Structure 1
Amino acid sequence: MEWLNSLSKAIEYIENHLEQEISFDEAARIASCSTYYFQRIFSYVAGISLAEYIRRRRMTQAAFELQRTDKKVLEIASKYGYASPTSFNRAFQSVHGISPVAAKQKGAVLNAYPPIRFSVKVSGGSAMSYHIIEKPAFHIVGIRMNLVDDMEENQKNVPLFWEQALNDRRFSELCELNNAAPNGILGISVYENPENIFYYIATSSTNKAPDGICEYEIPASTWVVFENDGYFKENVQSVFRRLYTEWLPFSGYEYAGLPDIEVYPIQNKTVQSGHSEVWIAIRKGE
């Protein structure tokens, strides 16, 4: 359960700095992972991005102050890190649906977002079909796009990248290059360092990458493979959420922080519905 305690401590740091600058790097250090993985894990478990969570918490506190004090809007905007009334007004309206000035009126309807508390989810519902495998390092070839620290931006751009890839002549090449497991077309998030974060649409292959195609070596690891018949009934974010709140706490394993892999079946050089998988690298817990 140590990962749960680490995430909770990172949230405590954020709560204590709502009126100051919040360092994502420091929050990640407290959570014992890289900044990229902290934001990624947070968005999966919480269901919103870290930036959006902080915005909601600050605007919740700002609304309380607008209603219970005589402070001016500009004063409260400055307190919560907004240099201009325009940017504060935009953030406030995105959370509450009304302007800060309107929030001062009696009877104004506002939204309150309490601090997140991470806990193990107790559920007796749907099963998670999985198996665990040991796999040596393997070679992938594919096309890639740059990811950024902003998870909201990535969540908008990755689907667009898939759209473009399916109409790219190189996609057919990738289908032909697949000659090793995991079989199919892969969606892979790769973190090398803060300046080099990529999302690959790729395939596992023993062949060298042809011109215009990138390649990468996936390290040897233990993998938990979650399975579905047909496209995922739950999206990848939901699989990760269940991994952290339902599977990991009781499994004796920890997240290994290696590339995460989505596996989609191919037929006639196109992605098909069928048996799909998510591969997540794990290691034995301490």
Structure 2
Amino acid sequence: MIGTLNALVDLVEQRTDDEIDVTAFAREHGTTEYHLRRMFSSLAGMPLSEYVRRRRMTLAGAEIVAGASGLLDVAVRHGYGSVEAFGRAFRAVHGIGPADARRDGGPLRTQPTLRFRLSVEGSTPMHVTITTRPELVLAGHAATVPLIHEGVNPQSQEHIAGIPAEEHARLKALSDAEPSGILAITADIEPDAPEGAPLTYLHGVALQASTPVPDDLDRIPLEAGSWAVFATEGPFPETLQNLWAATATEWFPSNPWRLRLGPSIVRYLEFTGTHAACELWLPVEPA
């Protein structure tokens, strides 16, 4: 996977004037677009689409300051059909328009070319189990919340706090499948979504596919398949978020599995508010 990501970076450098066919690239390298975008975003700290835009505007900024080409020529060379669209993208990255950059020489924001390397230190111990689960249904109370990479998500917390205690007890009694108990479920997130992008947070339980779901509950059907279950314990939410990052930086690059489409699930075994013992369930398939 590390070699594939670096090949993708090289392709970004080669194709500065056209859309990159990520689906075809992933297929040629024996993986999926979904997994590739998720791994890129996790390791780079930004979506692939944002990296492409930053790199193109970095190169375009250098050309504009050099003054050897007209603005339309620079725009077309970097995949834009009009000076107006190019100007909007340029300003979004650099904070100034291309005409201002040409006149004043900057300031410009530079995005260096990325290079991925595999960490071999094993700095985050991970206890991982691969399990196969049949068709399931996740049922509970859903809300749309923003993606937050670090710290507590206040909108998720507000959603949970708004669920009455007796409803928590009802959900727990409904649970009849693994992972058992109350679950924190994240779904409907784009593979390279930036921070702040909307996602579905479901506070609920796992049910057998044959179990009737009460009409007042939201539901997410799950296909049968494999799951990688990562166990961790420590300060909340830092330990869980560090584990999420470590799956991308350490586990997936060195194991023959890749993410498949589906939600991520967190099962809390112990939770005090500041400390948690939990499991992170990620849907996987053989790479």
TM-score, structure 2 normalization: 0.73
Matched, 1:128 2:131: no
Q: Give the direction of change, closer, same or farther, for the CA distance of 1:190–1:101 in structure 2 (3 Å limit).
A: closer
> Which position in structure 1 is the counterpart of 2:260?
257
* Greater Cα shift, 198-207 or 85-94: 198-207
1:140·1:205 contact (CA, 8 Å) conserved in 2?
A: yes
Give me the whole-angstrom Cα distance separating, in 1, the residues matched to 2:21 and 2:158: 34
The percent of aligned pairs where both chains have the same amino acid is 24
* Aligned twin of 2:14: 16
3-state secondary structure, aligned to 2:147: helix
Give the partner amino acid of 1:223.
A
Note the alpha carbon deviations across 1:183-240, whole angstroms, 9 max, x for none.
Answer: 322314479xxxxxx856242124321214324235242524141334331564x534
Is contact 1:257–1:281 with CA below 8 Å preserved after alignment?
yes
1:222–1:282 CA contact under 8 A, matched in 2: yes
1:229-274 Cα deviation digits (max 9, x unpaired) = 34331564x5343223223444x4322525352314399xxx9963
Q: Does 1:228 align with 2:225?
A: no
Residue 181 of structure 2 is aligned to residue 178 of structure 1: no
The residue type equivalent to 1:254 in the other structure is W
- Cα-Cα RMSD: 3.8
Supply the AA of the counterpart residue of 1:277.
E
Match of 1:74 in 2: 72
2:219 to 214, 218, 222: 214
Local SS of the residue matching 1:108: coil
Could you list the runs of 5+ residues in structure 1 that have no partner in the other structure? 148-152, 192-197
Q: Does the 8 A contact of 1:45 with 1:240 survive in 2? A: no
User: Aligned equivalents of 2:22 and 2:141: distance in 1?
Assistant: 25
Matched, 1:242 2:240: no
**Alignment: residue pair count:** 266
Q: Residues 14-58 of structure 1: CA distance to partner in whole angstroms, max 9, x if unpaired? A: 222111222332333344333333322221121101111111011
Read off the aligned partner of 2:147 and give its amino acid letter.
Answer: Q
Amino acid at match of 1:205: L
Distance in structure 2 (CA, Å) of the matches to 1:104 and 1:119: 36
* 1:43-62 alignment runs, 5 A limit: 43-62=41-60
CA drift at 1:111: 1.9
Secondary structure, aligned partner of 2:236: coil
Corresponding position of 1:205: 207
TM-score by length of 1: 0.73
Contact 1:132 1:223 (8 Å CA) reproduced: yes
In the alignment, structure 2 segments of 5+ residues that lack a partner are 190-198
Deviations 1:157-193 (A, max 9, x none): xx698468534689745444234432322314479xx
1:139 counterpart = 2:144:
no
Q: Tell me, in whole angstroms, the C-alpha distance in 1 between the residues paired with 2:65 and 2:239.
A: 41
- Counterpart contact for 2:16–2:77, Cα < 8 Å: no
Pick aligned residue for 2:39 from 33, 38, 41: 41
Change (3 A) 1:232 1:27: farther
